[in-house]
Structure 1
């Protein structure tokens, strides 16, 4: 009864205005896990849980902060155990208490559309074989490997933790790049309880995604966040990457729904694919009219032309979906996932 009274007193949080609030993490002024005792983590809940989604959105947001700050935030939320791993560009935090453990991967900053373009044209997007099955984004896999191997690596720590505490739940989460790394980690840990992703890019092909079949995997997208749309599947960059898990969409208003709104990104992709196909046919026609053997210069020119067309295709694709749907880098920021899930939580229990 007292718990319900306390929950009824919880108020929605004000949505930060990007014009007046520094929304790009790390955020040392935000009160992480505020009023968490009123909404304890639902350890065994594998169906979608707004409570759990809020907890893991907070953890994914906190992962951007200094580990010393994060340790104190977790302790205030009732998680006394803490471990931090750091590679060249990869950071991951593990926090635990007597019931649960939370593994959260740090993401990357996305300050502008130009930063998005750099991600899209990253050569490390090429797929490579994944030991557990399928093919995955090379850059993401390299990121996980930075902290994974060795006696003091993340793999050893998590496996020993699961051995020593078989009844303790282990949840893995991450925002942006952190979500991609969390996906790979979860795929390697069949004993982990569940995975929550926030604004995560696609990680692998259908065979990789099938590794999550019958497991608890929830993917959340917010409004016009562009990152879940990458890597792209336009012809010039079609690596066959697929979405993982079951989706929950957070509308601009904060409401949750099971699918994206009625605007169809897939329609945009199809139209762009047709444009690219026509362009490639024209190129082939022009090439077939050329006679004689190719020299090294011809080959170089073809490679250069292909790269140019690839970049042009990316640019056209982004301009198209931006014009149709209004992509917004601000919508990718983790504070919006955390605040809007909190508001959905207190609204649900009001």
Structure 2
């Protein structure tokens, strides 16, 4: 019998250091729930695979390699400065998973909290300058691998959590060829022009998961007041407080989301100001807990087996 996965409790360790998690089983029973390499529409089983991939991208190469192998995939680890990426592939598809924010690494913190715009030369509009710089650092390595692995008709799938989701979004837009994007807990990446152009270029192949009150996702409501023009790309897939998936929050859930918008700036400032103390002492508002990548992975799996 296929079992649901437990939603993990509030934990700074799971939120900020996902690679310390020794309990979660990535790609559990994956061979019984194969990846749909040729899917042309939204695929819930693929969403689960890619959420697990985004979670696994926090791990180092030595620990991750046997997990990818157990899922039936070959694996290559791509480090570049403060950014890293996992590439995993079969003879039918390639998964490109970018690591998310590492709060104990100053570079990642500065990247996620920068709000300056920069020109996006590959599709128009302006994007978050920290995301663009991190993308430029690692893209040559990714492009080199995709040039090699993309031959033979393999389909390409980008994913990531948090900062990794932003890098996956920019990589999807820069990649010259058909590809697919599934992100979890993505911050807003660019301005209105960027988002509109992205949605037109990648309609039906881009999906962005939001876990209830996740502060990083809902931060556009704060950033609009600070800098004026950050917008999310589509298509949103929303996980509500009961773990059910839909396109949008229900009317009854908006009060909780509005509280995130009203308090998000204060929470973000506290996280930015105290990276050295982040393991201990900071409270865990629900909007912060909902950004935990394992909560996304478990929630998407449960939605898949419930269908």
Per-residue deviation at 1:316?
Answer: 9.9
Matches within 5 A, 1:1-350: 9-18=1-10, 22=14, 24-26=17-19, 27-79=21-73, 81-109=74-102, 122=113, 124-132=114-122, 133-149=124-140, 153-162=141-150, 164-165=151-152, 167-209=153-195, 210-213=197-200, 214-231=203-220, 232-238=222-228, 240-262=229-251, 263-264=253-254, 268=258, 314-315=265-266, 327-348=286-307
Q: Distance in 1 between matches of 2:292 and 2:190?
A: 23
TM-score by length of 2: 0.82
Q: 1:161 to 1:212 in 2, by over 3 A?
A: farther
Q: Which runs of 5+ in 2 are unaligned?
A: 271-284
TM-score by length of 1: 0.72
Q: Distance in 1 between matches of 2:230 and 2:198?
A: 14
- Give the 3-state SS of the residue equivalent to 2:172 in structure 1: helix
Q: Deviations over 1:291-311 (max 9, x none)?
A: xxxxxxxxxxxxxxxxxxxxx
Q: 1:72 to 1:180 in 2, by over 3 A?
A: same
Contact 2:198-2:233 within 8 A present in 1 as well: no
Q: 1:341 to 1:268 in 2, by over 3 A?
A: closer
Per-residue deviation at 1:84?
Answer: 1.4
Per-residue deviation at 1:264?
Answer: 4.1
Q: Distance in 2 between matches of 1:327 and 1:158?
A: 38
Per-residue deviation at 1:98?
Answer: 1.0
Q: Which runs of 5+ in 1 are unaligned?
A: 1-8, 273-311, 320-325
Q: Deviations over 1:25-76 (max 9, x none)?
A: 0124321100111111112223222111100000000000111221111110
Larger Rg: 1
Per-residue deviation at 1:252?
Answer: 2.3
Q: Distance in 2 between matches of 1:49 and 1:314?
A: 34
Which residue of 2 is the match for residue 295 of structure 1? none
Per-residue deviation at 1:327?
Answer: 4.6
Q: Distance in 2 between matches of 1:13 and 1:211?
A: 33
Q: 1:195 to 1:54 in 2, by over 3 A?
A: same
Q: Distance in 2 between matches of 1:120 and 1:226?
A: 16
- Give the 3-state SS of the residue equivalent to 2:207 in structure 1: strand
Q: Distance in 2 between matches of 1:337 and 1:313?
A: 20
- Alpha-carbon RMSD across the aligned residues, in angstroms, is 3.1
